[in-house]
C-alpha cells in the first residue's frame, strides 16, 4: 500500500493506493491535531473501508509546513509503515525540468499535478486546480514545467465578499441556476462560478497565444466538480490528480 498525503490550506487529502484501487480520506487542515489523533483517524478509516494491510510506503506534499512533521509521524506510526521512510516532495524530487527562475517557491501540489497530467496525456497540458486558490499549471510537450497563474478560489471569493463589504454576505456555495442573478446570492454565485470558469479559460487562451502551443485542459481540486459545468473548453476531470502525481513521484524515487 502507498499512502499519498496532500496537505492543503483547507483540507488534508489522504489517498490509500492498494491492489484494488484508491480510497480517499479528507480531514480539515485546521485545527492542527496531535500525531496520535491523526493516527487514530487514519486507522479508523482503514478499518472502516477494509483497506488491505501489509508493508506500506508513504509520500507527502505539503503547502502547510507546520503540519508536515506531525502528519509524517502519524503515518509512520501505522501498521506496515517504517519510521523515516516517508518521502516529502520538493522540486528536487520531481525529476522534471523547470523553466522558471525559482522552482523552490513552487507549491508541491502543483508539482504533483504537473507529473500526473503529463503522464496522462503526453502532450502540452494546463492543469486547473480549483482549491482554496484556483491555480493554473502549464506543462509543455516535453513534460517541462513552464509556469502558470494563481487567483482566489471560489470559496475564498465568497468569504471575502462577506467579510469585506457592508451590504453583501457570504452565501451557500452551490451552482448558480442562471448567469443573470436575480438576488444578491444569485449574483454572487454567478460571479464566483461563471467568472472563475471564464477567467481560467481566458488565461489559458492568452498563454496559448504567448507560447504558440495548444494545451489539453485537466480540471482537479475540491471544487472542480462544481465548476466543470461552466467550462466551455473541452477538458478532462480528475478530482484526485494530485494524489495520482504523488504515487508516480513515489514510484520514481523509491529506490533513491
Q: How far apart are CA 237 and CA 226, in angstroms?
A: 11
All cell numbers assigned to 246 = 504523488
Cell 457592508 locates to 166
Q: How far apart are CA 111 and CA 104, in angstroms?
A: 11
- Angle (CA) 20-71-109 rounded to 5° is 70
Q: Are 135 and 150 in contact, with CB atoms under 8 Å apart? A: yes
Q: How far apart are CA 122 and CA 35, in angstroms?
A: 39
Q: Are 244 and 116 in contact, with CB atoms under 8 Å apart? A: yes
The one catalytic residue among 6, 90, 109, 144: 109
Burial 64-82 (b: 16+ CB within 10 A, else e): eeebbebbbbbbbebeebe
Q: Are 61 and 5 in contact, with CB atoms under 8 Å apart? A: yes
Q: Are 75 and 5 in contact, with CB atoms under 8 Å apart? A: yes
Cα 252 to Cα 28, 82, 96, 127, 241: the distances in Å are: 29, 19, 11, 21, 17
240 carries an active-site annotation: no
Q: Which residues are catalytic?
A: 109
Amino acid at each position: 500500500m502507498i499512502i499519498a498525503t496532500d496537505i492543503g490550506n483547507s483540507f488534508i487529502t489522504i489517498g490509500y493506493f492498494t491492489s484494488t484501487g484508491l480510497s480517499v480520506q479528507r480531514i480539515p487542515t485546521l485545527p492542527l491535531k496531535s500525531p496520535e489523533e491523526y493516527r487514530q483517524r487514519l486507522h479508523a478509516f482503514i478499518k472502516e473501508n477494509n483497506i488491505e494491510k501489509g508493508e506500506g510506503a508513504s509520500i507527502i506534499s505539503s503547502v502547510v509546513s507546520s503540519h508536515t512533521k506531525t502528519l509524517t509521524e502519524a503515518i509512520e506510526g501505522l501498521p506496515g509503515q517504517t519510521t523515516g521512510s516517508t518521502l516529502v516532495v520538493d522540486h528536487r524530487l520531481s525529476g522534471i525540468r523547470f523553466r522558471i527562475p525559482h522552482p523552490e517557491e513552487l507549491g508541491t501540489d502543483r508539482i504533483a499535478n504537473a507529473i500526473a497530467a503529463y503522464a496522462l496525456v503526453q502532450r502540452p497540458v494546463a492543469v486547473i486546480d480549483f482549491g482554496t486558490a484556483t491555480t493554473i499549471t502549464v506543462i509543455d510537450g516535453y513534460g517541462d514545467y513552464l509556469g502558470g497563474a494563481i487567483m482566489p478560489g471560489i470559496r475564498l471569493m465568497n468569504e471575502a465578499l462577506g467579510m469585506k463589504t457592508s451590504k453583501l454576505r457570504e452565501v451557500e456555495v452551490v451552482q448558480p441556476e442562471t448567469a443573470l442573478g436575480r438576488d444578491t446570492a444569485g449574483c454572487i454565485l454567478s460571479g464566483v462560478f461563471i467568472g472563475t470558469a471564464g477567467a481560467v479559460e481566458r488565461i489559458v487562451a492568452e498563454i496559448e497565444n504567448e507560447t504558440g502551443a495548444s494545451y489539453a485542459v485537466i480540471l482537479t481540486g475540491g471544487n472542480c466538480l462544481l465548476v466543470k459545468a461552466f467550462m466551455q473548453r473541452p477538458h478532462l476531470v480528475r478530482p484526485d490528480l494530485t494524489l495520482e502525481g504523488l504515487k508516480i513521484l513515489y514510484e520514481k524515487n523509491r529506490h533513491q
